[in-house]
Amino acid sequence: MPSTAPTLIRLADYRPPEFLIDAVALSFRLAGAETQVAATLELRRNPAAMRGDGALRLDGEGLELEWIALDGQHLTAQDYAVDDESLTLFQVPDQFCLETRVCVHPDQNTALEGLYLSNGMLCTQCEAQGFRRITYFLDRPDVMARFSVSLEADRAQYPVLLANGNPVGTEDLADGRHRACWDDPFPKPSYLFALVAGDLSRVSDRFRTASGRKVALNIWVEPENLDQCGHAMRALKNAMGWDEDRYGREYDLDVYNIVAVSHFNMGAMENKGLNIFNAKAVLASPDTATDQDFQWVEGVIAHEYFHNWSGNRVTCRDWFQLSLKEGFTVFRDQEFSADRGSRGVKRIADVRMLRARQFAEDAGPLAHPVRPESYIEINNFYTATVYEKGAELARMLAHLLGPDLFRRATDLYFSRHDGQAVTTDDFVACMEAVSGRDLSQFKRWYSQAGTPELEIAGTYDPAAQAYELRVRQHTPPTPGQPHKEALHIPLALGLLDHQGRDLPLRLVGETGVIRAGTRLLEIREPEQVFHFIDIPEPPLPSLLRGFSAPVKVRFDYSEAELLFLMAYDSDGFNRWEAAQNLSQRLLLAWVAGAGPSIPAGFYEAGRRALTDTRAEPALIAEILTLPNESYLGDQMTQVAVEAIHQAREGLMTRLGQELSGEFRAGYELNQDRGPYEPSPEAMGRRALKNLCLGYLVAAGEAEALGLCRDQFEARHNMTDQIAALRLLVDAGGAAGEEALAAFYDQWAGDALVLDKWFAIQASAKGPGTLERVRGLLGHPAYSPTNPNRVRSLVASFCANPVPFHAADGSGYAFLRERVLELDPLNPQIAARLLQSLVRWRRYDTHRQGLMRAELESILAAEKLSKDAYEVAAKGLA
């Protein structure tokens, strides 16, 4: 346990800051072993805050204070107190200037918060509370200051010196040193501060904004990666144009710098004018990055760019409001990607991920509202709920208002709150202001945790030609919230006739012309009934089209009805959804003991999907992908680890055998004809082709592994190479080992590809995975201080259900060892890994006991971080 019991921070305790900082000047003498930071803060009392005891308490962690002066007067020990977390000045005037000088040690910083060293480059990460590891400050997002920064370093070692804002000059100094000055004209919270110093090369371009501002764009990387920046640069320019078109938002500085670093806890960070990226979220070339990587890079580049308005110009009042910037910005990047590629396929991918991660989170001990009420460690709240469910809330508002009003609302939000630190209530208030709607019930989505369930039933009355749809909503309890209130839920639906055509949806009492198609119903009550009239025949409802709300729908479809929806629904998302429902149903019945009883109609539907020449290949691939094992487990009262695995493998085998001719044809038909293209169409074809190959292998087709070997050896692009490698490794035996060795020889020099080599082995299906993973811990390329490496080996293993949940507890013990090894080095990463243990209630009593025992032994460890403590304690509660 941590030496002092960690404090719970509560939203209810929020108070405005007693002091404000108008301006800050920072001067860095940079070096890896020891960096000096001199800060000059212009402080004054906040007129809007209550007067406290007159003292000023600044945040600061791990700082060595060397010098301090107030209004030019050097202070002595009786004027202030320093502890592990703060510097307190006992008496200060109403307005004054405070100067401090501290010393920090970047080369010892393995937590990757504050100033740290990555492959010889100095860089920072300040969100959420890393700035306090750089200098004493009011490190909270509602204190917004103007920053000017001077960086001084050895010129040979650190030729490139970057900070936020615009460059205002460089200077050569004596002794081979140099200095660069940067000025950021926009007041910002400290979490958006950044600097980078290193031997970097760049790819440059330009963008001209709608109002004519010329912006210099730079992507800075280690020299050997210069040829992998093109995709990110195109994505950046596309994102800049899209935000102008869709939201009327222009960029506001003269330069936009992006830096790729090898050691990074998350995907990327939106520091004003100086985004710092995990190299994995920037670099992409056809031979090293998969199609998924290409799409991810484009999405993250856009996400960080969009933060310039949703996050930076308008920021969060406190960390409970995190979803104000993250949820909204994820929604923005999702829509950007939908516009760039296939809208329907993007929606499917987003919903898959929401269900896999956020629904699971909502159903476990770490469930929390989109706007949490309390936390011990804010770093634990960069969650699927805050990000992905938060995005769904923005999407529902957009849906409820419609495109024109939503745009007016976001325009109002950006103009009303420009330069301010605000709340999710302020965001919703703008939606209310432009629409005249009362969204007070909608706001419960922000404060209430849990995944709502809609139970829906329909009755047709032939005499009255009427259809009655009864909708009941219910949200199961979550920790600390035993009773739930009814939510305001947008439910998009259609009614299909027997030919699969959409009927016009007229509610009783409505007159005038009504077109056939999707209609948006608003659910507000615990139980609500909708009466549709002029319905000439018993209809088949297509519910929650496009996944119009983050809820679970229960409707008693027959197998035949699901097959019908899969074939005819005008909503592509719901065609996929029907396929998922159907295969889920077959698989769960199989697991429950019914064995493989597959109706002929299932194979027929698969065949029809596979040979549908009008459908997008990417959508076909999604439709033919069976729900994954952990998602299937989430649908059971108790997860049957091995049975799920066997049933899923078994169904793939049968489907593969039954449709082998079609899969073989699909494999041939969707081969790349020309050079690699990262276009949505080409990506879709590759996805379908590799899915076909997977089914051919599952079917045990004699030549399938030969096809994998050929595809692997052809080295045409990383998407194809890695797909083949995965199949070979999963198949086990000498061919897999040879391919792994060849892949290592080919890619040992490329860190990001090497991550894939580790990940493939950790997610392998065959026996012996844990032994292999344990062996890889000793590989010279494994390092517990590189989060990408840890994720690719350890997190991949924990996401591999059969070996992780091995009944002898060996997987759990392995995780406990890794968590305890990592916690002192990087608590954020340790706490993330630990989350794999908290859903123990979902397993049999034997596994429950094993998982709990590991959580308990972690909780009992000495000097446990707040991060890991919070996860373990909540996991056991």
Answer for which of 152, 243, 326, 662 binds ligand PHE (CB under 6 A) is 326
Q: Which of residues 277-336 bind Zn ion (CB under 5 A)?
A: 326, 329
CA-to-CA distance for 181 and 170, rounded, in angstroms? 6
Answer for which of 99, 152, 270, 377 binds ligand PHE (CB under 6 A) is 270
Classify the phi-psi angles of 861: left when phi > 0, otherwise alpha if psi is within -120 to 50, otherwise beta: beta
Whether residue 108 contacts residue 119, with contact meaning beta carbons closer than 8 Å, is answered with no
Only segment of 147-155, 193-201, 299-307, 405-413 that touches ligand PHE (CB under 6 A): 299-307
* Smallest distance, ligand PHE to C-beta of residue 261, A: 11
Whether residue 398 contacts residue 331, with contact meaning beta carbons closer than 8 Å, is answered with yes
Q: Which does 215 bind (CB under 5 to 8 A by kind): ligand PHE, Zn ion, none?
A: none
CA-to-CA distance for 242 and 332, rounded, in angstroms? 10
CA distances to 36, 85, 104, 148, 735 from 108, in Å: 15, 18, 9, 27, 43
Q: Which of residues 790-819 bind Zn ion (CB under 5 A)?
A: none
Backbone φ, ψ for residue 664 (5° rounding): -60, -45
Q: Which does 266 bind (CB under 5 to 8 A by kind): ligand PHE, Zn ion, none?
A: ligand PHE
Any contact of residue 523 with ligand PHE (CB under 6 A)? no
Positive or negative: CA dihedral 124, 128, 130, 136: positive
Q: What's the token pair of residue 662?
A: 């079609």
Nearer residue to Zn ion within complex by CB, 293 or 326 = 326
Q: Which does 622 bind (CB under 5 to 8 A by kind): Zn ion, ligand PHE, none?
A: none
Q: Which does 127 bind (CB under 5 to 8 A by kind): Zn ion, ligand PHE, none?
A: ligand PHE
Does the annotation mark 304 as catalytic?
A: yes
Nearer residue to ligand PHE within complex by CB, 306 or 467 = 306
* Smallest distance, ligand PHE to C-beta of residue 131, A: 12
* Smallest distance, ligand PHE to C-beta of residue 303, A: 6
E-strand stretches of 4-144: 9-10, 19-29, 35-45, 56-59, 64-70, 73-74, 80-82, 86-89, 95-104, 114-118, 121-125
Q: Which does 269 bind (CB under 5 to 8 A by kind): ligand PHE, Zn ion, none?
A: ligand PHE
Residue carrying structure tokens 């995780």? 815
Pick from 94, 126, 106: nearest CA to 28: 106
Answer for which of 18, 61, 127, 750 binds ligand PHE (CB under 6 A) is 127
Classify the phi-psi angles of 560: left when phi > 0, otherwise alpha if psi is within -120 to 50, otherwise beta: alpha
Q: Which does 719 bind (CB under 5 to 8 A by kind): Zn ion, ligand PHE, none?
A: none
Only segment of 52-60, 263-271, 429-437, 696-704 that touches ligand PHE (CB under 6 A): 263-271
Angle at 646 between CA 640 and CA 683, to 5 degrees: 110
* Smallest distance, ligand PHE to C-beta of residue 276, A: 8
Any contact of residue 382 with ligand PHE (CB under 6 A)? yes
* Smallest distance, ligand PHE to C-beta of residue 403, A: 25
Answer for which of 303, 340, 395, 545 binds ligand PHE (CB under 6 A) is 303
Residue carrying structure tokens 């103007």? 146
Nearer residue to ligand PHE within complex by CB, 379 or 475 = 379
Whether residue 686 contacts residue 721, with contact meaning beta carbons closer than 8 Å, is answered with no
Nearer residue to ligand PHE within complex by CB, 376 or 624 = 376
Which alpha helices (DSSP H) does 52-209 contain, by range?
none
CA distances to 191, 265, 267, 349, 786 from 117, in Å: 19, 13, 17, 35, 12
Q: What is the 3-state secondary structure (H, E, C) of 521-560?
A: EEECCCEEEEEEECCCCCCEEEECCCCCCCCEEECCCCHH
Only segment of 92-100, 267-275, 354-362, 556-564 that touches ligand PHE (CB under 6 A): 267-275
Pick from 707, 617, 626, 633: nearest CA to 669: 617
* Smallest distance, ligand PHE to C-beta of residue 518, A: 32
Q: Which does 658 bind (CB under 5 to 8 A by kind): Zn ion, ligand PHE, none?
A: none
Q: DSSP for 17-47?
A: -SEEEEEEEEEEE--SS-EEEEEEEEEEE-T
Among residues 304, 335, 616, 870, the one annotated as catalytic is: 304
Q: What's the token pair of residue 499?
A: 């030919």
Q: Which does 316 bind (CB under 5 to 8 A by kind): Zn ion, ligand PHE, none?
A: none
Task: Say which residues have a Cβ less than 8 Å from residue 200's Cβ, sequence separation at least 6.
Answer: 121, 159, 160, 220, 221, 222, 223, 259
Nearer residue to ligand PHE within complex by CB, 134 or 153 = 134
Q: Which of residues 657-696 bind ligand PHE (CB under 6 A)?
A: none
CA-to-CA distance for 125 and 268, rounded, in angstroms? 10
Only segment of 260-268, 427-435, 492-500, 588-596 that touches ligand PHE (CB under 6 A): 260-268
Nearer residue to Zn ion within complex by CB, 130 or 606 = 130
Any contact of residue 377 with ligand PHE (CB under 6 A)? no
Residue nearest ligand PHE (C-beta atom) = 266
CA atoms within a 13 Å half-sphere pointing along the CA-CB vector of 683 = 19
Nearer residue to Zn ion within complex by CB, 329 or 410 = 329
- Which residues are annotated as catalytic? 304
The footprint of Zn ion (CB under 5 A) covers 326, 329
The footprint of ligand PHE (CB under 6 A) covers 125, 127, 265-266, 268-270, 303-304, 307, 326, 382
